[in-house]
């Protein structure tokens, strides 16, 4: 039987991508340590396709960067589901980190990562989904993607 978070995803019409394991290093897509689930950085890919290659501020607008952040966050949630089996095990989205492949003059990197933060609240609700956050604009990203999102979850 699907839990309340699965029901919420259906209600919102949100589909999760396939949780793909990293291919470029001998790391895990996620790792459970005690009461925490750590999800490795996820790029904006949809079942192997990467539609957001380039820099926010040159190749993508802030709004397109937010869509890329949202897609990356969907991959984070897909890995959480794969690791936990049931997303209702998430007690709190503890921390989210976003790295934006940005032009030197782009100062709105926090606005870009809002695409991921807002998704967490949309899916998990304010009490569970609101989180601490770190955002950085960077000059290069794996595969040249526009953004990478990682998250840490308190779980039961």
Query: How would residue 23 be classed by pLDDT, with cut points 50, 70 and 90?
Result: confident
Span 9-36, mean pLDDT? 93
pLDDT for 26: 82
Of how many residues is the chain composed?
A: 156
pLDDT 10s digits, 30-86:
999 999 999 999 999 998 899 999 999 999 999 999 999 999 999 999 999 999 999
CA distance 146 to 33: 29
- pTM for this entry: 0.96
Span 112-135, mean pLDDT? 98
Residue 1 clears pLDDT 70, i.e. is over it: no
Q: Between the CA of residue 18 and those of 48, 63, 74, 108, 138, what are the distances in Å?
A: 8, 24, 10, 30, 27
Listed in order, strand segments (DSSP E) in 78-119 are 90-101
pLDDT for 111: 98
Residue 155 clears pLDDT 90, i.e. is over it: yes
Domains of the chain: 4-12+36-155 (3.30.1330.40)
pLDDT 10s digits, 93-115:
999 999 999 999 999 999 999 99
pLDDT for 38: 98
pLDDT for 21: 85
pLDDT for 59: 98
DSSP letter (8 states) at residue 144: G
């Amino acid at each position: 039987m699907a839990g309340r978070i699965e029901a919420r995803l259906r209600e919102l019409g949100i589909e999760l991508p396939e949780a793909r394991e990293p291919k470029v290093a001998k790391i895990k897509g996620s790792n459970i340590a005690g009461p925490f689930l750590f999800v490795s950085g996820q790029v904006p890919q949809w079942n192997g396709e990467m539609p957001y290659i380039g820099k926010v501020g040159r190749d993508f607008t802030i709004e397109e960067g937010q869509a890329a952040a949202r897609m990356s966050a969907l991959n984070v949630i897909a890995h959480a589901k794969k690791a936990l089996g049931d997303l209702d095990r998430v007690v709190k989205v503890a921390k989210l980190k976003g790295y934006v492949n940005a032009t030197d003059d782009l100062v709105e990197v926090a606005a870009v990562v809002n695409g991921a933060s807002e998704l967490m609240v949309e899916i998990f609700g304010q009490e569970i989904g609101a989180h601490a956050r770190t955002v950085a604009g960077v000059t290069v990203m794996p595969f040249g993607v526009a953004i990478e999102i990682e998250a840490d979850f308190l779980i039961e």
